[in-house]
Structure 1
Amino acid sequence: MERKEYAVIVLHEIYGINPHIKWVCEHYLESGYDVLCPDFFKGKEFFGYSREGEAYQYFIDHIGFNSMTEEFEKILQKAHSNYKRVYLLGFSVGATAAWLCSGLESTVDGAICYYGSRIRDYQFINPKCPVLLIWAKEEKFFDVLELSNALKTKPFVRTHILDGKHGFSDPFSKNYNEQSQKIAQDLVGRFLHSLKGR
């Protein structure tokens, strides 16, 4: 069977596959991509934003970056048998997982990482594919500009810092910033278009 052209794999945040992640998947389906969205909660209902602490603890106790990345390697290998190009699109912890996967050999064709704050713990990763890092200007726990400047010196890495707080691209979040969300979506669209020519 001939492989299809392009797949976008969406990696969810600590909240699970919530309305925001479904909204993102719908957008890329409408843009002509096949969309895959692994559920690292294994069918457990998503957490509401008011349960952020509980959601984070669940992620740490039951998922974690190591098991998420290991499971994702298997998903990527299977996806590559069905698609010519496989792109990752992650948000927050999903962005950190996408960053980790970008360092794998020959499994990822491009990675987009929205406000992956824990990427700061994995600065040693050297991506093997083009990576687009999109940051919120306002982060509580680290210096965005300092991290962005450190990472953009790496081959394949592009970084952009946009107005807003963590979650600015999520229309269901209190931190939603419509202007920055549109700018980010345009950056992602152009990034994906550029990868088709590689």
Structure 2
Amino acid sequence: MGTQLKAEDGHTLAAYAAGPRDAERGLVVAQEIFGVNRHMRRVCDDFAAQGYAVVCPALFDRTERGVELGYAPDDVARGRELRGRIDPALTVLDIRAAAAALPPGARRGIVGYCWGGTVAWHGATRTDHFAAAVGWYGGGIAAAKDERPRCPVQLHFGETDASIPMADVEAVRAARPEVEIFVYAGAGHGFGCDERGSYSAGDATLARRRTLEFFDRHLG
């Protein structure tokens, strides 16, 4: 269902919420560069089916409201353009607002995909709001590899991701040996999204299982 959030700077933004509102565990789901679209809502619903309260903030509301893109080349270009207009520090305020909208007392985690993978990393390194963080193919993590996570982090990357070279992944591994990193042989960017040509069902299933097990360990 749709809901509204208010960030600490007064900005209001939409969000998709799912799951039991009295859940003992909650997740902020950080979107790809395609908005809170059908795929992201399905991701949220899947976590909700596992018993999580879920909030997925519309991070593009900082620059344009109601954005829902597909996965064609024009959509990719549009998503990148929108992302480039948003200050990462303001995105942190938005995920903090999403965390605050989770049930009181819930153990909170954050998971993100694509751009959201980097946002999840910032959630771990730039806030104290989360007890665990998972990032799937976050292209900006290498640039922020020297930031120290304040909670356990698990990262997932595709071996053949054209936008995240393995050198970047190894740089993150070297800088942050405490972070759990998985690389999926032959997988490309967006391998977890069944609406993309790069979708890899086996890798997506394995990464999902690892994500759920990680949250089970750290969110109780």
TM-score (norm 2): 0.80
**Alignment map for 1:86-101 (pairs within 5 Å):** 86-101=108-123
Encode CA deviations 1:43-96: one digit per residue, 9 max, x unaligned: 4231221121111101212x24222113323433x2477133111010111110
Aligned partner of 2:49 among 16, 30, 40: 30
Counterpart for residue 41 of structure 1: 60
Identity of paired residues, percent? 23
Query: In structure 2, how many angstroms separate the alpha carbons of the residues matched to 1:105 and 1:46?
Result: 27
3-state DSSP of counterpart to 1:41: helix
Q: Number of matched residues?
A: 192
Query: In structure 2, how many angstroms separate the alpha carbons of the residues matched to 1:44 and 1:162?
Result: 33
In structure 2, relative to structure 1, the CA distance for the partners of 1:169 and 1:69 (3 Å cut) is same
TM-score (norm 1): 0.88
Query: In structure 1, how many angstroms separate the alpha carbons of the residues matched to 2:136 and 2:91?
Result: 17
1:12 correspondence with 2:34? no
In structure 2, relative to structure 1, the CA distance for the partners of 1:196 and 1:45 (3 Å cut) is closer
In the alignment, is the contact (CA less than 8 A) between 1:16 and 1:40 conserved in 2?
A: yes
**Alignment map for 1:158-197 (pairs within 5 Å):** 158-163=180-185, 164-197=187-220
In the alignment, is the contact (CA less than 8 A) between 1:15 and 1:55 conserved in 2?
A: yes
Query: In structure 1, how many angstroms separate the alpha carbons of the residues matched to 2:105 and 2:112?
Result: 19
Query: In structure 2, how many angstroms separate the alpha carbons of the residues matched to 1:123 and 1:30?
Result: 33
Kindly indicate which of the two structures has a greater share of residues assigned to helix.
1
3-state DSSP of counterpart to 2:42: helix
Query: In structure 2, how many angstroms separate the alpha carbons of the residues matched to 1:70 and 1:183?
Result: 31
1:123 correspondence with 2:142? no
Encode CA deviations 1:14-68: one digit per residue, 9 max, x unaligned: 110112111111110111101111112334231221121111101212x242221
Over the residues paired in the alignment, what is the CA RMSD in angstroms?
1.9
In structure 2, relative to structure 1, the CA distance for the partners of 1:141 and 1:29 (3 Å cut) is closer
Structure 1 residues not aligned, in runs of 5+: none
Is the deviation greater in 28-37 or in 67-76? 67-76
